[in-house]
Every structure is written in C-alpha cells, then in structure tokens.
Amino acid sequence: MDAAQRARLDNHAVQAHIILAKSSAEGEIEQNNRYVLGYTGAVLPTHNFFIPLTLAGLTDETLADASAFFRSRNTMYAVSLEEHRVPDGTEYLSKRRYQPLPPQPVMACTHLPAEAIQQNNLRIKHVETVPGMTALYSVLEAVFDYSTDEVMLLFPASQIGQEEIRHYVGYTPEGRPVTIGTAICADKAVSVWNLSTLDNFRRRGYATLLLNKILSDAAQKGCDLSLIYTTPMGFSLANNLGFKLHALRQWFLPQEIG
C-alpha cells in the first residue's frame, strides 16, 4: 500500500463515522480541522464519539470541548484513537485516567473482487425495503444485544436508498436472515461495519460469502480500497480475504464513565 492509498483510507475512516452518525435518527456532527464529534443518542458510549484528527486535536482544551458537547446532550461518549494518527495519544489519555477498551484491528484491502462468488447456500440481498430492515434488525438484536428502539435509532429506515450506505442481509434457502453487514462508501473506498452471523449459523462460510458480495458490489461502483473493523477473533476471516492490518483503533472512556 502506498502513501496515497493510506491517506485515502485514513480520510475514509473518518468520513464513514460521520456518515453513519449523521444518518442516525438523532444524528449530529460537529467537525473542524482538529477533531470530529459525533452524536447518535445511543446508550453505548462508542456510538457517540470524539475523534482527534491530529496531535493538535488531543489537548486538555479539546477534551473539555468534547465533554461539554456530550454533557449538554446528556449522553455517554468515547474517544476513538488510532495511534498512527495521534502519536503518544494512548499515553496522553491514560495519564488523564481515561479507561482503555481492548484494541480493535482495522484491516485494509487494495484488491476488491470483481465478481461475487457463485453459490446456492446463501441468498444475499441489498436492503431496499422496510421488511429488509426488519430482517437486519433481527440479527443486530441477536448478535449485539441491541434493543429494538436502539437499532431503529442507529439504523433508521430513512437510510434506505442513501447512496453512501448499503445494508446487506444473507438468508438461508428457507428464508431465515442469519448474517448481516453494512457498507459505507466514500472517496472511492468502502468500509464494512457490523459484519456478523447468528451463533447457530457460524462456521458455515456465510460471513465470507457476504463480505465477498459487499466488496464486489463496491468494486462495481468504482471503489478500489476497503477497510473492515474487526475483532481479534475475526482477524483470520478478513486476512483470508486479502485484508492486511492497517491500524489499531482503541476506544477510551472518560473517567466519569469508566
């Protein structure tokens, strides 16, 4: 990966957060050249974020700005930090007693598949209807323990038809929704969010088939780079599809939360 590709992916990562937050039912964004604040109103702190963009974006002053922004909205939040973007940011936040959560691999791919794998085991649909959103909600609620109200807050039906956001659901031949994922497109790059499968249907290759379909669709729309936010457990899945480690993202909770 060259420097220009890395810069595009870094910019895309920020834009994807903004797109998702702004499109939520109560979404609100505050952005300048130092940091981004994103509010969704969700209960989980990591859905309300402060992203420092540079060293100048992580200071006592900007942390106070973030605290005031979210306190005025009576919601919890978290700081999203990528060490390559803000060197020594981890140490800076630790000294101020921010509580770190486990690091999360951010994987990148520079070669998207041109076509989807031909198969009959999983029927994959791009969500374009309210019933499709209902199927998406059912998997999100089962995998992530969201409430119905929360998934409708984060992923309202108004996202249907938005060019930058594409939700996908994979169904068994019997019509049961079992795997889901969301693609965010910006700057000719695509990031994949919430890729997940119901517990009883794992280890059947469903997530691989779904991710392949998401990436091939993105390639047909002109994307040539991809990011996926994964977990240590999901590292091998992304790696087998050609993704390599791009960065580590770590969430930090303010002292009043942690």
Which is higher by pLDDT, 256 or 254? 254
Q: What average pLDDT is seen over the chain?
A: 93
Q: Per the domain annotation, does 108 fall within a domain? A: no
Q: Which domain does 162 fall in, by range?
A: 123-223
Q: What is the pLDDT of residue 239?
A: 85
Q: What is the pLDDT of residue 217?
A: 96
Q: Are residues 209 and 173 part of one domain?
A: yes
Q: What is the pLDDT of residue 257?
A: 54
Q: Averaged over 63-85, what is the pLDDT?
A: 94
Q: Per the domain annotation, does 74 fall within a domain? A: yes
Q: Per the domain annotation, does 110 fall within a domain? A: no
Looking at 72-184, list the stretches that DSSP marks H as alpha helix, in order from N- to C-terminal side.
89-95, 130-144, 148-154
**Per-residue pLDDT reduced to its tens digit, 43-60:** 899 999 999 999 999 999
Number of domains into which the chain is organized:
2
Q: Per the domain annotation, does 140 fall within a domain? A: yes
**Per-residue pLDDT reduced to its tens digit, 137-165:** 999 999 998 889 999 999 999 999 899 99
Tell me, what CATH number does 162's domain have?
3.40.630.30
Q: Per the domain annotation, does 213 fall within a domain? A: yes
Q: Are residues 78 and 134 part of one domain?
A: no
The Cα–Cα gap between 198 and 212 comes to 18
Q: Per the domain annotation, does 109 fall within a domain? A: no
Q: Are residues 217 and 127 part of one domain?
A: yes
Closest CA to 142 of 191, 183, 194: 194
Q: Are residues 77 and 48 part of one domain?
A: yes
Question: Is it the case that residue 258 has pLDDT exceeding 60?
Answer: no
Q: Per the domain annotation, does 242 fall within a domain? A: no
Q: Averaged over 12-38, what is the pLDDT?
A: 96
Q: Are residues 137 and 91 part of one domain?
A: no
The Cα–Cα gap between 166 and 177 comes to 16
Which is higher by pLDDT, 240 or 94? 94
Q: Are residues 161 and 83 part of one domain?
A: no
Q: Are residues 88 and 158 part of one domain?
A: no
Token duo for residue 184 = 């965010």
Q: Per the domain annotation, does 9 fall within a domain? A: yes
Residue 79 β-bridge partners? 50, 252
The Cα–Cα gap between 161 and 152 comes to 16
Is residue 5 helix, strand or coil? helix
CA distances from 27 to 13, 37, 44, 94, 154 (A): 18, 11, 14, 29, 9
**Per-residue pLDDT reduced to its tens digit, 83-132:** 889 999 999 999 999 999 999 999 999 999 999 888 989 999 999 999 99
